[in-house]
Amino acid sequence: MDINRHNAASWNAESDSRDSPWCQPVGPDVIAAARRGEWSVILTPNKAVPPAWFGVIEGARVLCLAGSGGQQAPVLAAAGANVTVLDISSAQLAKDSFVADRDGLELTVIEADMTRLSEHVSGEFDLIFHPVSNLFIAELGPVWRQCADSLKPGGRLLSGFVNPDFWLFDHDEIEGGAALQVRHRLPFDAARDLPKTVVEARIERLEALEFSHSLETQIGGQIEAGLMIGGFYEDDWSDEATPLNRYMPTSFATLALKPSRS
């Protein structure tokens, strides 16, 4: 099966359900505050990205990569950036367009797979904002290389990703109240590592199929693509989202820099 196509359908369904916190467009008050210079956005569930990570946002050419839903992209546009948002979910992109239309923002919206970034954008960006999303694709190398190619010299890639240890456990079990017990070898691939009946049930429910990625692939992959790591932080989630929240950071974020031309 085409897992990327399935995950697009999954996110469309989640967006249409109106229940997910990642699918709620920001209100006009948030956009008005951003226009006054009062804004923050997240790469991970809770912690605001440090302002210094953005550099100069006014007039910057920004790509929100796999980060639609009417949240970060409109805020960055209201803060003065020239924003393009690329995502595989048409329903999530519609929420960016909704906020842009409602609040008079200029926003370019592209429906596409993040692994085929270079086919859909041209030129060079000052900043790529890539919130937690690469758990839905199998290979990160092409994404990091295309990000590096799409950045200007001196440009910045801001990325969020899930702690790979998250997938050591069977979340259906622990969310049902079972004790924590290691179930999976890493890296995890839901379609490969879960029982066939569980995979079939998730497909039937339009539930996304996930992949874990090692820290070597997440951070080392950015370095291999020619970027330099310039910042890092950990974040938690909530006990309601996962019992693992009590024991470890559930996500990380990195700032990577493309070297300036000498």
Evaluate whether 117 touches 194 at the Cβ level (below 8 Å): no
Q: For residue 261, what pLDDT band results from cuts at 50, 70 and 90?
A: confident
What would the pLDDT profile of 110-126 be if each residue is shown by its tens digit?
A: 999 999 999 999 889 99
Say how far apart CA 158 and CA 257 lie, in whole Å: 9
DSSP-based helix, strand, coil % in the chain, nearest 5: 40, 20, 40
pLDDT score at 18 = 72
pLDDT value of position 177: 85
- Provide the pLDDT confidence category of residue 156 given band limits of 50, 70 and 90: very high
Per the confidence metrics, is the pTM higher than 0.75? yes
Asked whether residue 172 is assigned to any structural domain, the reply reads no
Residue 116 is part of a domain; what is its CATH number?
Answer: 3.40.50.150
Supply the range of the domain harboring residue 96. Answer: 3-163+209-257
The per-residue pLDDT for range 16-75, each reduced to its tens digit, is 987 889 999 999 999 999 999 999 999 999 999 999 999 999 999 999 999 999 999 999
Q: Is residue 197 part of a domain?
A: no
In a domain? residue 44: yes
Does the pLDDT at position 262 exceed 80? no
- How many residues are present in the chain? 262
262 falls within a domain: no
* 225, part of any domain: yes
Q: Where are the alpha helices (DSSP H) in 137-195?
A: 141-150, 171-175, 190-193
Q: What is the percent of the chain where pLDDT is above 70?
A: 100
Does residue 174 lie in a domain region? no
Specify if 64 maps to a domain. Answer: yes
Count structural domains, the chain: 1
Strands (DSSP E) along the chain, which ranges? Answer: 61-65, 82-87, 107-111, 125-130, 151-162, 228-235, 251-257
Q: Return the closest-CA partner of residue 210 out of 199, 225, 221, 226.
A: 199
The percentage of residues in the chain with a pLDDT greater than 90, rounded to a whole number, is 93
Q: Is residue 222 part of a domain?
A: yes
3-state secondary structure of 24: coil
pLDDT band at 170 (very low <50, low <70, confident <90, very high): very high
Task: Give the span between the Cα atoms of 105 and 135, in whole angstroms.
Answer: 30
Q: What local confidence, expressed as pLDDT, does residue 19 receive?
A: 81
Which of 81-85, 118-122, 213-217, 229-233 is least confident?
118-122
The answer to whether 73 and 85 have CB atoms below 8 angstroms apart is yes
pLDDT at 193 over 70: yes
